[in-house]
Amino acid sequence: MTDVAVIGVQWGDEGKGKIVDWLSARADVVVRFQGGHNAGHTLVIDGKVYKLSLLPSGVVREGRLGVIGSGVVVDPWALFAEIARIEDQGVHVTPASLAIAENACLILPVHSELDAMREGAATGTKIGTTKRGIGPAYEDRAGRRAIRVVDLLHTDTLAGKVENLLVHHNAIRRGLGAAEVDAAALTEKLKEIAPKIAPFVKPVWKLLDEARKAGKRILFEGAQGVLLDVDHGTYPYVTSSNTVAGQAATGSGLGPRAVGYVLGIVKAYTTRVGEGPFPTELVDAIGEKIGARGHEFGTVTGRKRRCGWFDATLVRQSLKVAGVDGVALTKLDVLDGFETLNVCVGYDIDGARFDYLPAGIDAQSRIKPVYETMEGWKGSTVGARSWAQLPAEAVKYVRRIEELIERPVALVSTSPERDDVILMKDPFEN
């Protein structure tokens, strides 16, 4: 048995929530290790839809421990609003089912306000953020002025830490022509939320170490995707954290040997939310058809996703950068009924052929995708749970993707329902 990390290897929205939920049936602990409540995971269980942002997907299963690791930035007000929403759906979240790392950093109202002011400014690069304060919170963490979860357990020293934080933020707000934040009011707001979060706060690194020693299976759940990684993504149109599998070690406190198998989630086509390059984007009726059939709207923001053909060149690069062992291919059913399907197998930039995505945004803007055309299928893949239930052309599509991305497909998802999965390899059986 081995512990597994699940990450997205495109621009997020690959269907990680369903796969993590499906795998959590084999796990004891599910750990979120980066990102914040900008991530959105939709789970469909027995026809009931659960929309999660900050909570680990494992919380919807009884008997599983959900963990929010130190690599996550936590908006405590958003967290408890999310807990209230899923409790209305019958899922009870208690300190026995959720642990929050004491050394995780907080997202405060000042962060989301700064995020919105920057995106709304007349000048500067529009990143297309969710305006939830993720980037500014990570900036404060790197700047060593952040308020951490553990600080809420020591409210007698909180005021000084808030004042130190606001020296930085109020200077920025003055420059943007915004009113300064009152330190006393923010401190009081934090003191009010402190008793609610306190029962969940744990030394997560120790908790996870004890779980490993006890032989429990751990599932590490990533947010966003490799192409949004702050180092390896389409910079500057990226998130503010590392989304690759290596972050599972840093963001949980377990170390790199804790992850035995890395499962990369890949959509059978490509989508992206927000700004930035997208070589295979379809701004035509086919793109609209894919978006409509795939219900391509953001879980968190409701924003319409940009849609395009599968980009094997990008996915292959992401898999290598992130150290992925095998792939879960999702939303294959969305491609049912297309006469032909295109797969990007390389790029043309000013007449030169590339088998990878150059890092420079200027070169990225001049990419022309090189396509391989494949025959589509007339039959349905919806709900298939074995290879025998797939049309022959669909099997060929999956096998060709395996060849192009140079990694095996470990499982295929054929609908949003939890159990509609074709399993070739159980990631825990490494």
Task: Please provide the distance, in angstroms rounded to a whole number, between the alpha carbons at the two ends of the chain.
Answer: 6
- Check which CATH number belongs to the domain holding 375 and give it: 3.90.170.10
Whether residue 22 is predicted with pLDDT greater than 90 in this model: the reply is no
| Number of structural domains found in the chain | 3
Alpha-carbon distance of 394 to 376, in angstroms, equals: 7
For residue 21, being part of any structural domain is answered with: yes
Shared domain for 278 and 244, answered yes or no, is no
Q: How many helices (H) and strands (E) does the chain have?
A: 12, 20
pLDDT tens digit sequence for 374-383: 999 999 999 9
Per the DSSP assignment, residues forming a β-bridge with 50 are: 43
Mean pLDDT for the stretch of residues 142-157: 97
Q: What is the mean pLDDT of the chain?
A: 92
CA atoms within 13 A on the CB side of 69: 27
Say what percent of the chain tops pLDDT 70. Answer: 96
Last residue of a domain, one of 237, 261, 285: 261
CA atoms within 13 A on the CB side of 32: 33
Q: Which residue has the higher pLDDT, 389 or 26?
A: 389
Buried b (16+ CB within 10 A) or exposed e, 276-313: bbbbbbbeeebbeebbebbebebbbbeeebbbbbbbbb
Whether residue 123 is predicted with pLDDT greater than 70 in this model: the reply is no
Shared domain for 367 and 218, answered yes or no, is no
Shared domain for 414 and 300, answered yes or no, is yes
The pLDDT of residue 71 is 97
pLDDT band with cut points at 50, 70 and 90 for residue 301: low
Shared domain for 184 and 212, answered yes or no, is no
- Check which CATH number belongs to the domain holding 253 and give it: 3.40.440.10
For residue 346, being part of any structural domain is answered with: yes
The pLDDT of residue 368 is 97
pLDDT band with cut points at 50, 70 and 90 for residue 300: low
- Check which CATH number belongs to the domain holding 169 and give it: 1.10.300.10
pLDDT tens digit sequence for 200-236: 999 999 999 999 999 999 999 998 999 999 999 999 9
Shared domain for 186 and 212, answered yes or no, is no
pLDDT band with cut points at 50, 70 and 90 for residue 268: very high
Mean pLDDT for the stretch of residues 262-271: 97
Whether residue 245 is predicted with pLDDT greater than 90 in this model: the reply is yes
Q: Which amino acid is at 343?
A: V
Last residue of a domain, one of 151, 182, 197: 197
For residue 227, being part of any structural domain is answered with: yes
For residue 321, being part of any structural domain is answered with: yes
Shared domain for 34 and 118, answered yes or no, is no
Shared domain for 49 and 187, answered yes or no, is no
The pLDDT of residue 125 is 67
Whether residue 299 is predicted with pLDDT greater than 60 in this model: the reply is no
Could you tell me the residue range of the domain that residue 15 belongs to?
4-101+200-261
pLDDT band with cut points at 50, 70 and 90 for residue 417: confident
For residue 380, being part of any structural domain is answered with: yes
Shared domain for 407 and 326, answered yes or no, is yes
Whether residue 120 is predicted with pLDDT greater than 80 in this model: the reply is no
For residue 430, being part of any structural domain is answered with: no
Q: Which sequence positions are flagged as catalytic?
A: 13, 41
For residue 428, being part of any structural domain is answered with: no
The pLDDT of residue 199 is 98
pLDDT tens digit sequence for 51-75: 888 999 878 888 899 999 999 999 9
Shared domain for 36 and 185, answered yes or no, is no
Shared domain for 94 and 223, answered yes or no, is yes
Show the CA angle centred on residue 42, arms to residues 313 and 72, nearest 5°.
80
- Specify the length of the chain in residues: 430
- Can you give the pTM of this predicted structure? 0.91
Shared domain for 84 and 210, answered yes or no, is yes
Last residue of a domain, one of 144, 173, 197: 197
Shared domain for 237 and 285, answered yes or no, is no
For residue 429, being part of any structural domain is answered with: no
